[in-house]
Amino acid sequence: MGWSRGRWGSSVGLPNTGRPAGGAQEDFIEWCMIVVMKKGATEAEVEALTAAVAEWGLKAHVSPGTEVTVIGLIGDAARDHEATLALMPGVDKVLPVLKPYKRVSTEFHPEKTVIKIPPARHGDRGLSIGGTGVVVMAGPCAVESREMILSLGAFLKGAGAHMMRGGAFKPRTSPYAFQGLGVEGLRYLAEEGAVVGLPVITEVMDPRDVEMVGEFADIIQVGARNMQNFNLLKAVGRCGKPVMLKRGLANTLEELLMSAEYVVSAGNPEVILCERGIRTFEKFTRNTLDLSAVPVLKRESHLPVVVDPSHGVGQWELVAPMAKAAVAAGADGLIIEVHPDPAQAVSDGAQSLTPKRFKELLGALELVARAVGRNLH
């Protein structure tokens, strides 16, 4: 009997789940503005403003700061009440959000988003992604067997990793390459979480499978090849689980942020941005890992940023230096491929660290994190 979580445990093949469950899709809002309250504005003044905008049919997001409170407003009616807002007690100024990405921008949401991941096993601690700590997600490119996932998970947890990564559904360039174990692989990952205790991140490829994958995963990953699969983005926006969104192979940072906007506008504010390398003229590495993306994304958005050095370079010996550089650049986390025997891996063995090398890397990462005022959880 395989491990099961939720109502998908008895399935052997891929079920036809239809459209993902969740509330009705929100309309994509084009108009956003921010209201900056005066220094010393009272709680009553903030409450009066939010009550007024609710009557106008607007949605308000209140961001209390150390000195001033900023209120983000969403809705086409906002522009009709701009003058009224400017005259309300406690208001300093009213500004439109001009960037194409609204809800994911630091203008609209000045404080940084911290995503809480509950413990996979009763009695364990949960995780925070986006705070002062650096989260390390590790595991094989693809789930290959139950024994491998359980034994590797136990090692990774003992070494200091915080999450288990592993692909049950694999988007491959060749139709003849290994495509993943599907639901069976999801069961193995869920069993690892319950037995070993590492929360799980895994990829979804089809909008019809979002609800099912969410039954097993703690974080749902949207891979690089699906970054602009807009139906999938809307589906994960309704799933109720944190989403890690990988940058596409040839996409700009603005396009990445616009894809994140799809997820957030559909109702899911818990999005993690991931830089995993882009295609350039360079041939020495699999991709070019764009570490400048880290400070740019953290300037432009309030969402946490994770770096994937494994796919970024494609060679195991380059993973460690790029992982350390990512932490130094300000990444909130890393997602690293680790395999007990990379030479025998069904996919991406060339970029996978051995368990021994991964443990050595964690020690070095702790030193880098401390040097920039961070820590490994």
pLDDT of residue 30: 58
Same domain, 269 and 337: yes
Question: What is the per-residue pLDDT across 323-356, written as a single tens digit (0 to 9) for each?
Answer: 999 999 999 999 999 999 999 999 999 999 999 9
CATH number of the CATH domain containing 290: 3.20.20.70
Q: What is the pTM of this model?
A: 0.85
Single residue among 63, 96, 129 that ends a domain in this structure = 96
pLDDT of residue 66: 82
CATH number of the CATH domain containing 43: 3.30.70.1140
Average of per-residue pLDDT values in the chain: 90
Single residue among 96, 131, 149 that ends a domain in this structure = 96
Same domain, 313 and 220: yes
Same domain, 264 and 356: yes
Same domain, 81 and 193: no
Same domain, 279 and 360: yes
In a domain, residue 16? The reply is no
pLDDT of residue 185: 95
pLDDT exceeds 80 at position 7: no
What is the average pLDDT across 138-155? 97
Single residue among 96, 127, 146 that ends a domain in this structure = 96
In a domain, residue 15? The reply is no
pLDDT of residue 193: 95
pLDDT of residue 67: 85
In a domain, residue 14? The reply is no
Question: What is the per-residue pLDDT across 235-269, written as a single tens digit (0 to 9) for each?
Answer: 999 999 999 999 999 999 999 999 999 999 999 99
In a domain, residue 171? The reply is yes
In a domain, residue 160? The reply is yes
Same domain, 45 and 168: no
Same domain, 64 and 117: no
pLDDT of residue 233: 98
pLDDT exceeds 50 at position 16: no
In a domain, residue 221? The reply is yes
Question: What is the per-residue pLDDT across 203-244, written as a single tens digit (0 to 9) for each?
Answer: 999 999 999 999 999 999 999 999 999 999 999 999 999 999
pLDDT of residue 122: 66
pLDDT of residue 172: 66
In a domain, residue 20? The reply is no
The domain of 335 spans 113-376
Three-state SS across the chain?
CCCCCHHHCCCCCCCCCCCCCCCCCCCCCCCEEEEEECCCCCHHHHHHHHHHHHHCCCEEEEEECCCCEEEEEECHHHHHHHHHHHCCCCEEEEEECCCCCCCCECCCCCCCCCEEECCCCCCCCCEEECCCEEEEEEECCECCCHHHHHHHHHHHHHHCCCEEECECCCCCCCCCCCCCCCHHHHHHHHHHHHHCCCCEEEECCCHHHHHHHHHHCCEEEECHHHCCCHHHHHHHCCCCCCEEEECCCCCCHHHHHHHHHHHHHCCCCCEEEEECCECCCCCCCCCECCCCHHHHHHHHECCCEEECHHHHHCCHHHHHHHHHHHHHHCCCEEEEEECCCHHHCCCCHHHCECHHHHHHHHHHHHHHHHHCCCEEC
pLDDT exceeds 70 at position 361: yes
In the structure, what pLDDT confidence band is assigned to residue 121 with cuts at 50, 70 and 90? confident
pLDDT of residue 175: 77
Same domain, 88 and 171: no
Same domain, 50 and 195: no
Q: What whole-number percentage of the chain has pLDDT above 90?
A: 80
Same domain, 170 and 316: yes
In a domain, residue 108? The reply is no
Same domain, 123 and 87: no
Task: Name the domain count of the chain.
Answer: 2
Same domain, 328 and 182: yes
pLDDT exceeds 60 at position 15: no
